Structure 1
Amino acid sequence: MQLVIAQSNFTVGAIQKNCQQILADIEKAPKDSILVFPELALTGYPPEDLLLRPDLYKRLNSALQLIAQASHHKAIVVGHPHQENGFTYNAASVYSDGQLLARYYKQALPNYGVFDEMRYFTAGANATTFNYQGKKIGLLICEDLWDDAPIAHYDAKNVDLIVSLNASPFNLEKQLERESLVKKRALNHAVSIVYVNQVCGQDELVFDGGSFAVNREGELVCRLRQCQEDYLTLNYANDFAPSRIESVADSEEAEIYQALVLATRDYVNKNGFKGAVLGLSGGIDSALTLAVAVDALGPERVQAVMMPFKYTAQMSVEDAKAQAQAMGIEFDIVSIEPMFDGFMQALEPMFAGSAKDTTEENLQARSRGVILMALSNKKGRIVLTTGNKSEMAVGYCTLYGDMAGGFAVIKDVPKTMVYKLANYRNTLGKVIPERVITRPPSAELAPDQVDQDSLPPYDDLDAILEAYVENDLSIADIVSLGYEEAVVRKVVRLVDINEYKRRQSAIGPKVTQRNFGKDRRYPITSGFGREH
C-alpha cells in the first residue's frame, strides 16, 4: 500500500481555492494510494467565527462532493468542519470511489493558549477506522495525540496504522516536541503513526509543516520540509519503509528566521498587497525586518525609506543606504524636518508655556508614520512595522508613529534574539552592516539618546520579561532569580500600563512560547498591577 502526505498551504475561508488545490494533489497521487491532508484543510485553520456562518457549510458540502467524485481508485482523508444534528464537529472524512468510507470527530478540543475550539466544536466520543488495501487504519486529529484517551481507544481494534491530521502552530523546539510525543505513542501502543501538519502563515500564527511518520517501534521513517509545501509517497507493507527525512533547522535562529519569512510572505500575498514598505532607520530592528521582507517577497516588491531628523546620526543614513544597496531594493531618503516644523508651528499657540518633553519625540515618529502610510496608500504596499517584543512589552514605541502599519514582523522577537537573527542572516549573505549590529541601539529622538538610558540592559530586560510575561512569575519570584527589586518593579509596571498600546498594535507572527495577542489576553483597565 502507498500513503501520500500532502503538506499543503491552504488559505482560511478560501474553500473553492483550497478544494482546487486538493483536487490537483489527488490527481497526481498514485493509483490505489491513501492521500492525507491536514486538519480542517478545506477551510484552513483556524477559521474562527467563519464557523458560525450557515453559508460556510453549503460551500463545504459542494467541495466535499467534488472530492468524493475525484476519489477513483484512491482513498482521500480530508479535514473539514461538519454539522450534524445541530452540532458542529472538527471532522476527518475518508472518501474512496465516490463513497464516504468513514468520518471521525475530534475528541480532544484544545482551549488554551492560541486555541479556542470549545467555542465552536462539540467533542467526538468514538474511535473510527476504515479498511483499505487490506489494512485497517484509525483516525485522530491533532490534540487527540496529546491526550491519553483517544489513541487508547484503538488498542482493542487491531489497527495497522493511525493517521493524524494536524494544524500545529510553530514555536521554538515544537518539531522535536511533536516527534518525541508521537514516537512515545507509537511505541506504547505498538502502532505506526502518520502525522500530517499544515504549513502556512495565518495572521499571527505560523504553521511550520514538518509532517512525519514513525513505525511501530517508534522510529522516524520520514520527515517533510519545514516552512515549505511538500508532498511525499510512503510505502507500507507490514510497516513503513524508511523514506526521505528532511533535516530540521540547525539552530534556534534558523527556525525563527524561516518562520518569520513564511509568515510575512503569506500575510502580504494572501491579503492582496503588491509589496511592502518600511522605515529603514539604520538601526538593527528595521535592518532585520528589511532582510525578512526581501527574503519573503523579493527585492522588487520592497521599498525602504530613510527619514532623518536633526538628531539622526550620519552613520545611520550611511548604514541604511548600504543595506538597501546590498539588498537591491527601492530606497528613498525623505527628511521629516519640514513636516515636523509645520506641525510645531501649528501647535505653538497651544504649547505656549510648556516645556519640551516626549511630545516632540513622539511627533517625530508620527511624522514618519504619515509618510509611510501615504506611500502604502499610493502604491498598494503594506507598511511593515519594526518594533520588537522587548519594546512592545514596555511601551518603548509610539502609537500612530513607529507603530503605524499593517504587519509587525518581529513583534514577538525579543531584542536579544534580534541580534542573533541579524548575525544569522549575515551567514546566509552579508546584507546587514556590521556597525548596525555592534553600535548601541537608539531611537534617535533626542540628542545622544540610547535605549539603555531608560531601560535596563537588554539581557536583563528580556530575562525579566520572559519571567513575567511568558512564565507568569510574581515580582518576588523574579527578584529571587537575582534581579534588583527596583528594576523588576519598573519593568513590570511598564508592561502593565502599556497594554492599551499593544491592543492597538499591528499583528505579528508568534514565535515564542507566549505572544502578545492570542496567547496573552490581559485587560487594559485593571488594578492588578497596582497591588504588586
Structure 2
Amino acid sequence: MKIAIAQLNPTIADLSGNAQQIITVAQQAANADARLLLTPELSLCGYPPRDLLLNPGFVEAMAAQLQELAQHLPSQLAVLVGTVQPNPQATSAGEKPLFNSIALLEGGQVQQIFHKRLLPTYDVFDEERYFEPGRQSNSFTLNTLVETAGGQRSRGAEEQERAEEQGSKQVNPSPPHLYLTPHPSLKIGVTICEDLWNDEQFWEQRNYEVNPIEDLAHLGVDIVVNLSASPYSVGKQTLREAMLSHSAHRYQQPILYINQVGGNDDLLFDGASVAFNRAGEIVSRASAFQTDWVMLEFDEQKKDLLGTSVTPLPESENSEIWSALVMGVRDYAHKCGFSEMVVGLSGGIDSSLVAAIAAKAFGADNVLGVLMPSPYSSEGSLQDAQALVNNLGICSAKLPIGEAMQAYNKTLEPLFAGTSFGVAEENLQARIRGNLLMAVANKFGYLLISTGNKSEMAVGYSTLYGDMSGGLAAISDVPKTRVYSLCRWLNQTSATGEIVPANILCKPPSAELRPDQTDQDSLPSYEVLDEILHRIIHKHQSTTQIVDEAGYDPAVVNQVMKMVARAEFKRRQAPPGLKITDRAFGTGWRMPIASRSVVDNQWLMAKET
C-alpha cells in the first residue's frame, strides 16, 4: 500500500487556496497509485488561526469548504485533512466550543472525524483558549487497492455512472486498473502534533495524564500517523527525530510524522516530515523549509514501512537558521501582499544581514537599501554600506539627515536650552531615519524590515519609533554573536564571492549617534552579554545563579538583568519578529511591564562586592 505525505504551506484563513493545495497534491498522489494522503494539522485553515476561531462565520465557512473539498478529491484516495469541528456539548457541559480535528475524506464524503487529545499551553501555544481535548483514541481501518482481474469492470466507470445518474458534479474516477478489496487490511492510528510529545520514558517525566501513542499500541494499530504544525527552533528537528525513533522502537509501531512548512506571522514551520519503521529507523524524510510531497510504501505482510529517500537536513546551524529566516521573510511579505522591501543601511552588520536575507527572499531587484548618513556617520560606514549594495545587487538611495537634525534642534531649542547633548538628541537621529524609512514604505507600498537583533531587543539598546520602526523584525530572535556567525558563514558559502564586506565583520559595532561611539560604551562585550542573556531568557536563572555558575561580575549581571526588565515596554511595541529559538520576544513571551521584580526584589539579584 502506498501512502503519500503532503508537506504544505497554508495561508491562514485562505480556505479555498489551502483546499486547492490539497486537491493538487491529491491528484498527484492518485496518479502515483497512493491509497492514503496525509496533510498537516489544521491544513484547511492554516496553523495557528488564533482568534479567528472565535468568529462563528469562520468556523462555518471551514465546514462548508471541507464538504466541498471532499467532493473534488480522487475517489479512490483517502485523505486526512486538518480542520476544526464544533463541540456539540460545549454549552451543556461547560466545555470549550471547538475541537482541533482531523477529517477522513473518501468517496466524496467526510467519513470520520478525530480530535486532538493533548492541547499545549506553553510557549506560543494557547490551544485551551479555543479547543476541548478529545477523550478517546483515534483510529480507522483502510481497504487496499489491487490490480483488476481480466474482464472485471473498473470501479471508476461505475462511480462516474452513479454520479451522472444522481446529477452530481463529475468526480475524479479511480484509475481503471484498480479497485477496492471487500475486506479491511490496515488499521491506522491517528494523532495530532502534541499527542506524540508525552512519552515519559523519553522525557523522563509525564506532562499530560494520557499517552495517546501508548493507547494506540494497546489497540493494536498497524501504523501511527501524526499530523503536525510544529514550529521551528534551532536544532528542534534532531530532538523530534530522537523522540519519534524512541516511540517507534518502544511500541514496535511505524510512525509517519507530517509537518506544516512555511511562515505564519512570527512562527516558522520547517517541514522535514519524517517516517520511522518499527525498529525506530528513519526510512524517509521530506525537505526542510520548502513544500514537498513524499511517497512511501507499507508492506502489509511485514507490517512495516519500507525505505525511500531520506533528504539530508541542513549541514549546519547557520545553514538551518538562514533557510528559516529567508523563508520567514518571504512568506510574511507574500502572505501580507507585499512584493518589494526597504531596509535602512548603516554600514553595520545587522542591516547587512537583513539586506542579504531580503535579497535572497524576494530578489535583489525588489529590495531598496536606504543610506541615511548624519554628521556622525563615518566615511568608512558609508563605503561599507555601498559595498554591500554592490555585492547584493540591490537598489539604493541616499538621504542625508543633517538638515533634518538641525530643524529638530531648532524646534526644540527653547525647551532644551541650558541642557547638554545626550540620549534624547542621539535618539532623534534614529527617529528621523525611522520617519524617512516609513515615508518611503508608505509612498511606494514597500515592506519596511527593521534590523534590531535579539541582544539589542533584550536590553533595550534600540530606539522606539526609530530603528525599531517597521512591519517585520527579521532578526529580533538572532543574538548578536549569531549575527556575526551567520555573516561569516554567508561569505564562506557564497558562490559569487564576498557578500558582507570584510570591514563590517572586523570593525567595532557602533550606532554612530555621537563621535567615537561604540556599543561597548554602554554594554558588556557581546560574547559576555549573549551568554548572560541566554541564562536569563532561556534558563530563567537569577543573577546569583549566573554569577555562581559562570563567574561573571555581579555588577555586570545585575545591570543586564535590570536592562532586560526595563526594556519590556519597548518590546511590547516592536514589530512582529521571526522566531528561531525556543524563547523569543513574541507571542510566547508574556512578561509584565509595570513590575518591581528586578528593581526591588533581592531574590533575583546577586550580591555585589
1:88-487 equivalences under 5 Å are 88-132=98-142, 133=144, 134-148=185-199, 149-237=211-299, 238=302, 239-429=304-494, 430-480=498-548, 481-487=550-556
* Deviation of 1:32 (Å): 4.9
Q: 2:68 aligns with which of 66, 69, 77?
A: 66
**Comparing 25-34 and 262-271, the one that deviates more:** 25-34
Q: How many Å separate the matches in 2 of 1:156 and 1:520?
A: 39
- Shift of the 229–32 alpha-carbon distance from structure 1 to 2, 3 Å rule, reads closer
CA root-mean-square deviation: 1.0
Residues 102 and 128, structure 1, Cα contact 8 Å, conserved in 2: no
Question: Separation in 1 of the partners of 2:533 and 2:100?
Answer: 36
Give, in whole Å, the separation in 2 of the partners of 1:470 and 1:90. 29
User: Residues of 2 paired with 1:519 and 1:483: CA distance?
Assistant: 28
Which residue matches 2:585?
Answer: 516
- Residue from 47, 50, 53 that aligns with 2:49: 47
For residue 157 of structure 1, report the CA deviation from its aligned partner: 2.1
Question: 1:227 & 1:370 partners in 2: Cα distance?
Answer: 34
Deviates more, 1:82-91 or 1:436-445: 82-91
Identity of aligned residues (%): 43
Provide the secondary structure at the position in 2 that maps to 1:77.
strand
Equivalenced residue count is: 532
Name the structure 2 match of 1:76: 79
Following superposition, the deviation at residue 19 of structure 1 comes to: 1.1
**Match of residue 8 from structure 2:** 8
Deviations 1:309-346 (A, max 9, x none): 11111111111111101111111111000111111111
Tell me if structure 2 keeps the 8 A contact 1:165–1:197.
Answer: yes
Q: Distance in 1 between matches of 2:595 and 2:468?
A: 23
Alignment of 1:492 onto 2:502: no
How far apart are 1:57 and its partner, in Å?
A: 1.8
What is the TM-score with the length of structure 1 in the denominator? 0.99
Give ranges in structure 1 of 5+ residues lacking alignment: none
C-alpha deviations, 1:417-474, integer Å up to 9, x for none?
A: 0000001111232211011011100000010001111110111100000111111100
Structure 2 distance, partners of 1:43, 1:471, is: 34
How far does residue 159 in structure 1 lie from its aligned partner after superposition? 1.3
- Say if 1:102 and 1:129, in contact at 8 Å, map to a contact too: no
For the residue of structure 2 that corresponds to 1:29, the secondary structure is helix
CA contact 1:406–1:506 (8 Å) conserved in 2: yes
User: Which deviates further from its counterpart, 387-396 or 344-353?
Assistant: 344-353
Q: Deviation of residue 75 (structure 1)?
A: 0.3
Q: 1:507: Cα distance to partner?
A: 1.1
Query: In 1, distance between residues paired with 2:317 and 2:34?
Result: 40
Kept in 2: contact 1:26–1:70 (CA 8 A): no
The alignment partner of 1:392 has SS state of: helix
Amino acid at match of 1:49: D
The 10-residue stretch of structure 1 (357-366 or 81-90) with the greater mean CA deviation from structure 2: 81-90
Q: Is the 8 A contact 1:101 1:130 kept in 2?
A: no
| 3-state SS, counterpart of residue 305 of structure 2 | coil
Q: Give distance in 1, aligned partners of 2:339 and 2:596.
A: 44
TM-score, L = length of structure 2 = 0.86
C-alpha displacement at 1:529, in angstroms?
1.0
- Paired AA for residue 485 in structure 2: K
Q: How many Å separate the matches in 2 of 1:493 and 1:84?
A: 46
Q: Which amino acid aligns with 2:2?
A: Q
Amino acid at match of 1:234: L
> 2:295 is paired with a residue of what secondary structure?
strand
Look up the SS of the partner of 2:358 in the other structure. Answer: helix
Distance across 2 between alignment mates of 1:442 and 1:73: 63
Per-residue Cα deviation, 1:471-491 (whole angstroms, up to 9, x for no partner): 110010011120000000111
Following TM superposition, where does structure 1 have runs of at least 4 consecutive aligned residues deviating by more than 3 angstroms?
A: none
Q: Is the 8 A contact 1:169 1:208 kept in 2?
A: yes
Please tell me the residue identity of whatever aligns with 1:451.
Answer: D
User: Separation in 2 of the partners of 1:489 and 1:324?
Assistant: 40
Amino acid corresponding to residue 289 of structure 1 in structure 2? V
Partner of 2:27: 27
| Greater CA drift, 280-289 or 427-436 | 427-436
1:367 to 1:163, Cα distance in 2 relative to 1, 3 A:
same
Residue type of the partner of 1:236? Answer: F
Q: SS of the residue aligned with 2:249?
A: helix
| Distance in 1 between residues matched to 2:219 and 2:538, nearest whole Å | 41
**In the TM superposition, what whole-angstrom CA distance separates every residue of 1:74-123 from its partner, at most 9, and x where no partner exists?**
10001111113033101011111123332111001001011100111000
Q: Which letter maps to 1:469?
A: I
Which residue of 573, 577, 590 maps to 1:504?
573
Asked which structure has the greater CA Rg, the reply is 2
The amino acid across from 2:44 in the alignment is: L
Name the SS of the counterpart of 1:6 in structure 2: strand
